[in-house]
A and B are shown apart, each in its own frame.
Chain A
């Protein structure tokens, strides 16, 4: 049976928390635009809606299902939304972004620990009730396979390229000149091991260049006391040149990428790691700790770090800074990898998956 009507196909997204600036929030917006381009009715429903996005989404309790609707459920954490979506009498497609292990948040954020701990159980409840479980990396897909999901596939995060068109000139002016600039972009939470990035930078400032700068871009809202501890750590090292930016606008983010000589992450858990793709987009050489989905997202691009030796990694950053030949080779591979994440390619992939489920879109897709 075909379960779509050409005139009024509804593909709605459900997300526990709809926030600007994070990878999931950006993808939700990009997907909504895509579904609408394809002629479907597409709304966003969330448990929490960030003030900046008020009006772009509805609280999920306000959703009333229509039999032909399709629910796209973004899953990364336990929430009351899971039970709500699971019970909806419509077809469901899970979009799995991985679950951060709860232990990283113990001693930092007890509420989050509880949500993360129950997340696996909630995820498993979709095993039989979803028509397809998509994961944004092969690493995540293996998680689903491990939970015996019968139908799984990989769909890389759909980038919203329009996000980065503007650049905040004030940021560019503020940090122009000076020594090498390193960038780390992520939520400031314990699993990202930002203290390890600080350690590497500490060596760089002490032993290579006292002019170097480190930009730590991201919000510490969900990290409990992690951000204050991190700031205290920087103070106790007597370390200058570290900039905590908190959550930033797309234009400010673009400015930091343009300023950076290298992107650095020592994160020990990543379900996809969007900033790697952003670094590819902005031609910033990547140095990343080999954990979670990082090697899958890079797939041979950038430099993977197997062991955290702050001195050696700092010297490696210096090699990248002063060796244009090496930098050029790294960037050439990164550009080649970026092609994999081209929105047109991801859209074609997504449309293919959905059409296999019998969903017929009124309008043709690009390249479809």
Chain B
């Protein structure tokens, strides 16, 4: 799903995309010309400044300092009239002077407690002031982070736009894991015995080799041949069912993506590479990477055999190649040979093999006049090559 455009205008006569394209081009131009400079861009994401503020600590301390001292000399009055009133006042004053020593002790204790409270509050206020400064600075940092985050987010959004529009353009091939590829291969790829017979011709290149790998080994036809001839080899395939079937036959196989497998091999560690019907599953850029990795991982002099359906045969294209939904595109024999050679391989040759059964091909005629028959048969031969060319080819090379 693609992200909506930055703006929405519900009016079919207004072309939003054209407007935004023009706007983006203008911004890009202003960037190139230095009008929309990095300084301006920084300004766009400056955070809202914090304002200095206090916690009103002066007022708190002032209020506390006024209430520390206790006054025990409160005025003594009487609401009664003379002579009783003055007598009561005099009596109370006498009583106060007698008990003064006692009240003074209590007042001193209360004052001492209050001073302690004030001191404690001063410490709390100081602590609060420190915390306030810390909080202000944290707030500033958060604002800066927020603006950086906004900037990053907007960049990511722009990149996402680009990625999603690119993703639509990229053809995503179907992987073998999406279908039952083992069953598909059994039905349409030929049974293992037949494949063994077809691959026998390539054994000669691997004689005396060790550390041979069969990349995309499938049901293990070539691995079996290698084992029979005492050539140590390892199979690699990414389809789990294929790997399991090979292991059932005690073949030495690992499950891995081919390119990932090659990337982790040491330089010059492989004694030979055989890959049948693999290259047509790769995108062009993967194919180039694959051949580079083959060259990187093979020992000097080690053989490379790459087999693929012959796309030059119409019969192969229609009856084999396009039947397999996991195929990306046919690889022309000469293209593959060129890529192998240009990566530094030597003695590169193309071997075509496996003819289309004779009964499917156009047959030559024995009838008619010699010159007419000869011309007709010549054309039939040409047509047979074009329509019913060899089913497979192999590019053979040495590092």
Task: Using CB atoms and an 8 Å cutoff, list the residues of chain A in contact with chain B.
Answer: 107, 195, 199, 202-203, 206-207, 225, 228-230, 232-233, 236-237, 290, 300-301, 303-313, 315-316, 319, 326, 329-330, 333
Contact = CB atoms under 8 A, between A and B. Distances in A.
Q: Sorted from nearest, which 3 A-B pairs have the closest CB atoms?
A: A300-B10, A304-B8, A315-B23
27 contacts: A199-B43, A199-B44, A202-B43, A203-B36, A203-B40, A203-B44, A206-B35, A206-B40, A229-B48, A233-B46, A290-B8, A301-B10, A304-B7, A304-B8, A306-B4, A306-B6, A306-B7, A307-B157, A308-B154, A309-B6, A309-B154, A311-B44, A312-B6, A313-B6, A319-B19, A330-B11, A333-B11
Contacts, number: 88
Interface of B: 4-11, 13-14, 19-20, 22-24, 26-27, 30, 35-36, 40-41, 43-46, 48-51, 53, 139, 154, 157
Contacts of B139: 107
Contacts of A304: 7-9
Given A207-B36, A229-B50, A306 B44 contact: no
A326 B40 contact: no
Nearest to A236: B49
A303 B40 contact: no
Contact of B46 (A236, A308, A313, A333): A236
Contact of B53 (A199, A225, A300, A306): A225
Contacts of A329: 11, 13-14
Contacts of A206: 35-36, 40, 43
A337 to B, nearest CB: 10
Nearest to A232: B49
Contact of B48 (A195, A300, A313, A326): A195
B49 A229 contact: yes
Most buried by B among A225, A228, A300, A311: A311
Contact of B19 (A233, A236, A316): A316
A202 B24 contact: no
Given A225-B51, A233-B49, 19 more contacts: A199-B45, A202-B40, A228-B51, A229-B48, A236-B46, A237-B43, A237-B46, A290-B8, A300-B11, A303-B9, A304-B7, A304-B9, A306-B5, A307-B157, A308-B154, A312-B27, A313-B6, A316-B7, A326-B14
Contacts of B49: 229, 232-233, 236
A312 B8 contact: no
Contacts of A316: 7, 19, 23
A244 to B, nearest CB: 15
A310 to B, nearest CB: 5
